[in-house]
Amino acid sequence: NAGVTQTPKFQVLKTGQSMTLQCAQDMNHNSMYWYRQDPGMGLRLIYYSASEGTTDKGEVPNGYNVSRLNKREFSLRLESAAPSQTSVYFCASSDDGVMNTEAFFGQGTRLTVV
Amino acid sequence: ELKVEQNPLFLSMQEGKNYTIYCNYSTTSDRLYWYRQDPGKSLESLFVLLSNGAVKQEGRLMASLDTKARLSTLHITAAVHDLSATYFCAVDVNYQLIWGAGTKLIIKP
């Protein structure tokens, strides 16, 4: 049981390049999330998906797009990377949230934009 | 504005001591979560608190929730070096988690 799997673990991009971060969960969770974590700060929500086929903006969506490909997979795309997007990105999932929105996290992607 | 405030943000303490981390939040919620993060690692769920008065304990850590005061505490008893980490609280607001900034805990042998 792998839980939440993110790829890649590390990435260096040049300003203006694009890339997609992949996330998959095998816990049959309905909800999935993308967060970014910057040094000394908590987590900030970029986008979330409450169910397959739906996505919504979080606190810091600018510069990102997402796709909920199916129930298992939720990808995050940077169309034109900027140095301000240097961060650690975490994908998470939770069950249907009626009673318990405990989130389970992937291992993170450390992204550097130069 | 929704706010989740943790205090302190940084704590250095000696092994064997007791201490409490506080998590205050600004809106109504009866679901709160505590997570642990080791340097360079992901977040690991520690406690799930789903009602007023909920208390959970695991080893030297105990978490509680007072929804009327909008306050959760994470109490550390007789701290050991292995508990050194950053601890986050997160509050469920309309099925979304709002996160505190984290408390970096260093426990010196």
What are the pLDDT digits (tens) for B92-105? 888 788 999 999 99
pLDDT in the model for residue A64: 98
Confidence check: pLDDT of A1 > 70? no
Q: Residue B15 pLDDT > 90, yes or no?
A: yes
Q: How far is A43 from chain B (nearest CA, A)?
A: 6
Buried b (16+ CB within 10 A) or exposed e, B33-64: bbbbbeeeebbeebbbbbeeebebeeeebbbb
Residue-level pLDDT at A99: 67
pLDDT digits (tens, 9 = 90+) for B47-73: 999 888 999 999 999 999 999 999 999
CB within 8 Å: A97 and B95: yes
The minimum CA-CA distance between B58 and chain A, rounded to whole Å, is: 17
As a whole number, mean pLDDT of residues A78-93 equals 97
B22 to each of A31, B9, B37, B63, B90, how far by Cα in Å? Answer: 28, 10, 17, 10, 12
pLDDT value of position A40: 73
Question: What does the pLDDT read at residue B95?
Answer: 76
According to the model, what pLDDT value does residue A69 have?
87
Q: How confident is the model at residue A21 (pLDDT cuts 50, 70, 90)?
A: very high
Asked whether the beta carbons of residue B41 and residue A102 sit closer than 8 angstroms, the reply is no
What is the per-residue pLDDT for A56?
Answer: 94
